[in-house]
Structures are given as structure tokens and as C-alpha cells.
Structure 1
Amino acid sequence: MRIRRVVTTRAGGASRAPYESFNLGDHVGDDEAAVAANRRRLAAELGLAEGDLAWMEQVHGRTVTVVDEAGGPPAEATDALVTARPGVALVALVADCVPVLLGDPENGVVAAVHAGRVGARVGVIPAALDAMKSAGAELDRVEALLGPAICGECYEVPKAMADDVEAHLPGSACKSRNGTPGVDLRAGLWRQLADAGIAKIGVDPRCTAEDRTLFSFRRDGTTGRLAAITWVEAG
């Protein structure tokens, strides 16, 4: 089976400043019509129907929702979507948090995960992997992509916070560009995935705070959201 993975940028949409222009988040204060137009374009560019996209109401937790069909309202209070249904495209929205796309191409099971500091700390990735296994995935066949996110050099936090995240997500503590405590979520998540038996892990190295073609809440405050999407191609 062929698994598709796509990450958007902020270019080419209908949204105006400060959301310009391809904002896909409907919860950030942007004009509803602009977001709807952007979502229609997303589906069209992917060669999917708008109803093939599955969204979630992200809350920075560890809840996982298994999706058997798309087109309905966003999954409530969840930070990971899992499906074994070909053609259902799972969407995670981010603007500094780590989008994690997981897929078992042999068994046709995929997941889209929103892994911010809180969600990563409380174990949203292990929860997503457990749900994938229940849906028929085999961990030694799962491939992972860690999408663009704020880098450790830019993610400066209080020492107590860095220590707390490190205690729950080993490998995440780092030094910021200023030499102060920082958190590198992708480094911690990479280690967590590797420890879980995931052998194929790709990392998009782009930092959302540094790359102005991407949305960054930490850089801009009021801003849009980019999307990371994955699905198993039907047929």
C-alpha cells in the first residue's frame, strides 16, 4: 500500500494578515470564509474530496481517536487520529508544535499526531502507537516523519520546565541559542520512537520560528496554522 505524507506552508491561500495566507486553522480568529477556501484548496491540491479530510479539536493531551470515515465534525478533544481506511486523510495542525505522521505501509494503518510540549510530555506518541497496533499495525513496520517545528535553539524555557519535560521525554533537554535551558521536542520524540521500536524515522529540519514560510505562534503570537496530512491511497 502507498502512504502519502504532505506538510503545507503559509503560501498560496486566501487569508489576510496576520494569517497570510494559507491558514488552515479555524480556531485562531481568521475569517471563516478564508479558512474554508483554504481547506477546499488543500483537498483539491491533494487530489481528494473535501470530505476525505479528518480534522481534530486539538487540546494538548494524549487522547487518540480512531477514524473510520471522514467528512464529519472534528474529533472532539483529541491530539491524534488513527485510521486503517484507505482514502481517509488525517490532519494535524501546528504552529511550533511537532506534527508527527506515522504509517505502516504493509498493513495500511496511519496516524497524524499533534505533539506539543504538553502532549509529548504526557505520552501522546505512545498512545498513538498503541492505537495503531489495535488497528492492525506492526511497530517494526511503522515509519515516522517528524515535521517542521520550533527547534531547541529557539525554544527557550525556564529550567524547571526543561527538567520536567526531560524527566518525561528523555533527550529533549538542550541549550537555547542564548545558552539558557531549552527544549528540543523533536530530539525527545525521535528517541521515544526509536525506543518503541520504530526503525525508520525521518525529520524535517525546518524551524517554524526561523523559517518565515511557516507559521510560528512563538514568533508572531496571532498567526495561522500549517497542516501535516497523511493517508493511505485508495485503490
Structure 2
Amino acid sequence: MVTTREGGASKAPYDSFNLGDHVGDEPGAVAANRARLAAELGLPEERVVWMEQVHGRTVAVVDGPQGEPVEATDALVTAEPRLALVALVADCVPVLLADPEAGVVAAVHAGRVGARVGVIPATLSAMASAGADVQRVEALLGPSICGECYEVPAAMRDDMEARLPGSACKTRSGTPGVDLRAGLWRQLADAGVARIGVDPRCTREDRTLFSHRRDGTTGRLAAITWVDHD
């Protein structure tokens, strides 16, 4: 599941369904939005697990409700039924992973830095340790900034291509760019993940989505996954 900007309590520039509690929005509005999300998932609020995302490759395995966002991590893994894992983004790639047979799921925040240092391979390894088989894993690459909009210096593009092959591209204006979803797709496929879906929406182009590159101060959308049965 991936949320949009619409239907929440936040005021501009976070309007309106901002789920990020670290971007300067009114805490009461964020709390109301998070309560609404839990209600729409049909889960108690304490069974929705958030992260303190830091653009790294740390993966946390959780087996029950967390009183606070999981500290300093960019991926969550669980085999616990009805425990929703959330990744927040506003241009980075949210990646949802699942081995339906084993009942193991993961939510990953894969920005440029996290993708560069290997947050996806680290997550697949943690899923395997929890009982998943990479050949059964299904992946969804959620909405993010597209390569045609993600302009970077040439040296950064080249570094990303060396660390995440397939990510180098040109922007719409012909300048050096990075296509994170293309690079992550290749990384997942090379790891043995056979079923990879891609949400093609670009956060910068689609104004129903939050985009830090487009708007600067803005909210965060959520990508959520969970095991819905024992």
C-alpha cells in the first residue's frame, strides 16, 4: 500500500496527509494522520511500526509493537502477522518485499545514499535469516523521483553507476542523472528476485505525491506492508 497527499489533517506546505513527524509539521496533525492510517489498515495504532530513517543500510527485525520509531534504521523486517511496517519518502524509493509462503515481509527506505551502500542486499539477507527464500520474494518499487528529473553532478552519477549498476542516466534536459528504480530493479534481479513490480509515478511530476526536490519543505508519503494472517 502507498499513500498520497490527499485526505489528511495537515496544513500547507504539508497538505494534507503527511505522515512524517520530522519535517516541521504540527504534531497533532501528524498524529491524526497516523491514526487515520492505522484505522484504514484495520490495525491498532501500536501495530504500525515506524523508522527513524538515516539514509543507511541498517536493517531491524521486529517481532511486535514498538513504543517509538525504530532508531537509526532504513529497513524493517518481520514475520509477525498484522504488524504493519512503514517506509516514509518524498523522492527516495520505498521498496516493499515479501515472501508470501514464509510470511516474511520488509519495508525499505532506499534513497541515493542507502541504495549506494547496499540497503537492499542487507534487507534480503535479514529476510533470509527470518526464513524467507529470495527466489520466492516479490518486490514493489514505489513512487519516487524519476531519472529524467533527478539531476546530479557527473561524478556522483558515475559513482552511483559503479555502486548501483544500471542507475546512470540522462535527465530530460540532457544532464547527468540517476534512475534509482532502474538500478534497484537490476540489483534485485541480480540477487534472484524474479517478481519485481514498479510503480511508475514520479514524485516530482505528480502533485498528488510529496516531493522534496520540487517543494523543499513538504510532507512524507508512506509505503506499508504487513502479513495479514497467521
Verify same fold: TM over 0.5.
Answer: yes
Q: Give the drift of 1:71.
A: 3.7
Q: Give the drift of 1:130.
A: 0.2
Equivalent position of 1:183 in the other structure: 178
Instruction: Specify the code of the residue in structure 2 equivalent to 1:36.
Output: A
Equivalent position of 1:169 in the other structure: 164
Equivalent position of 2:132 in the other structure: 137
Q: Which runs of 4+ in 1 moved over 2 A?
A: none
Equivalent position of 2:223 in the other structure: 228
Equivalent position of 1:212 in the other structure: 207
Q: Helix, strand or coil: the match of 2:97?
A: strand
Q: Give the drift of 1:30.
A: 0.1
Instruction: Specify the code of the residue in structure 2 equivalent to 1:201.
Output: I
Equivalent position of 1:46 in the other structure: 41
- Count, aligned residues: 230
RMSD of the TM alignment (CA)? 0.5
Q: 2 CA distance for matches of 1:199 and 1:234?
A: 24
Q: Please say if 1:36 is aligned against 2:37.
A: no
Q: Please say if 1:84 is aligned against 2:69.
A: no
Q: 2 CA distance for matches of 1:154 and 1:89?
A: 31
Q: Give the drift of 1:49.
A: 1.1
Q: Give the drift of 1:234.
A: 2.7
Structure 1 unaligned runs (5+)?
Answer: 1-5
Structure 2 unaligned runs (5+)?
Answer: none
What pairs with 1:25-174 in structure 2 (closer than 5 Å)? 25-174=20-169
Tell me the TM-score normalised to structure 1 length: 0.97
Q: Contact 1:25–1:224 (CA<8 Å) still a contact in 2?
A: yes
Q: Give the drift of 1:40.
A: 0.2
Q: Give the drift of 1:46.
A: 1.2
Q: Give the drift of 1:101.
A: 0.1
Q: Contact 1:50–1:71 (CA<8 Å) still a contact in 2?
A: no
Q: 1 CA distance for matches of 2:167 and 2:125?
A: 22
Q: Helix, strand or coil: the match of 1:40?
A: helix
Tell me the TM-score normalised to structure 2 length: 0.99
Instruction: Specify the code of the residue in structure 1 equivalent to 2:115.
Output: A
Per-residue CA deviations over 1:125-148 (Å, capped at 9, x if unaligned) read 000000000000000100000000
Instruction: Specify the code of the residue in structure 2 equivalent to 1:83.
Output: T
Q: Helix, strand or coil: the match of 1:213?
A: coil
Matched-pair identity in %: 81
Equivalent position of 1:7 in the other structure: 2
Per-residue CA deviations over 1:63-122 (Å, capped at 9, x if unaligned) read 000001124211110000000101110000000000000000000000000000000000
